[in-house]
Amino acid sequence: MTRQWPRLEYLDWRDTCSALHLYLQVAGKYRIAHAPWINHSWHATFYVTPRGLASSPIPDGPGIEILFDLRDHKIIGTSGNGRSASIELGATSVARFHADFVRLVADLGGTSKFDGTPNEVPDPVPFVEDHRARPYDREAVQRFHQALTAVDTVFGRFRTSFLGKSSPVHLFWGSFDLAVTRFSGRRAPLHPGGVPALPDDVAQEAYDREVSSAGFWPGGGGIDEPTFYAYAYPAPAGYRSAVVRPAAAAWHDGLSEFVLPYEAVRSAPDPDGALMDFLSSTYEAAADLGGWDRDLLDCAIGEPGRVRHPDPAA
């Protein structure tokens, strides 16, 4: 399959990226106000689609789904009673976007009250008070969507090689990262919390089981380029010294994670293979050093139309 891995220069579109992040937080806060809590905050996330990022149905009013159409640059809301409404994505302020989004939800028969302060960002400004003019680079947003589509495909394929509990491939609007997480099945020590603008009990519930997690950031938070990451919680002894692939991957002391520049994947002869190497080798380091039961948890990568045999030796 031919897949597009576009060039992404975070510093060229960081203001647009920041704006898009906050717009997703507005919609995410609406989603989390109405969706029943699912383990590890999986009820709050968005999902990559061929057109952008979608919420899946939100149980409010007649049932409402929110799509960030990153190709035609619109927010499209649809409801279970057949109604639809949209607002344009373009240069504006967070306060104006928030007001437009509230009207969209009301037009669809939903309840437009939800928490109005961003999470997981330093010095959060309430949405209704953020009147700063924000740019919108349509071409950069489209490249970002192309990158998300490519990454989502590889993450999804990687997910098929694990029989244990695994998250969906989903985008967290708080940290603005696309992620996939595997679980050993064992409890983890209480997480210390301390995530900026995030209640400690949310972080502690998210990490109440041992995990090996990987994801993709468009940039920000001290990293001025799009980056893949991988970490384990709790990190087993020797994890930071593990040898992982490809050669461009390295341990980042500040983040306490392995990182791999997006550009190293994009420019590789086989980008999909380079990313799969990173996902597999960082998982193997976490699982082997952490004593996971890999005979029980691991399996071959799934294939279309082929049922996985219940006996792995067959």
Q: Which of residues 129, 151, 183 is at a domain's end? A: 129
Token couple for 97: 């976007």
Of the candidates 289, 293, 45, 41, which has an alpha carbon nearest to the alpha carbon of residue 163?
A: 293
Tell me, yes or no, whether 104 and 146 share the same domain.
no
Which pLDDT value is given to residue 310? 65
Residue 3 lies in a domain: no
**Domain that residue 64 falls in:** 10-129
Tell me, yes or no, whether 289 and 142 share the same domain.
yes
Token couple for 225: 């380029």
Are 41 and 179 contacting, i.e. CB atoms less than 8 angstroms apart?
no
Tell me, yes or no, whether 122 and 225 share the same domain.
no
Total domains in the fold of the chain: 2
Residue 305 lies in a domain: no
Find where tokens 């969706």 sit: 35
Please give the full DSSP string across 86-119, using - where no structure is assigned: EEE-SSB-HHHHHHHHHHHHHHTT-------S-S
Buried/exposed 120-139: b ≥16 CB within 10 Å, e otherwise: bbeeeeebeebeeebebbee
Tell me, yes or no, whether 51 and 97 share the same domain.
yes
Residue 310 lies in a domain: no
Please name the helix (run of DSSP H) or strand (run of DSSP E) that holds residue 48, with its range, or none.
strand 47-48
Q: Which of residues 94, 129, 164 is at a domain's end? A: 129
157 vs 151: CA distance, rounded Å = 10
Tell me, yes or no, whether 19 and 91 share the same domain.
yes
Which pLDDT value is given to residue 313? 66
Residue 307 lies in a domain: no
Which pLDDT value is given to residue 309? 72
Tell me, yes or no, whether 100 and 18 share the same domain.
yes
Tell me, yes or no, whether 241 and 153 share the same domain.
yes
Q: Give the chain's residues under pLDDT 50.
A: none
Cis bond upstream, residue 236 (ω within 30): no
Count of CB atoms situated within 10 Å of the CB of 84? 12
Residue 104 lies in a domain: yes
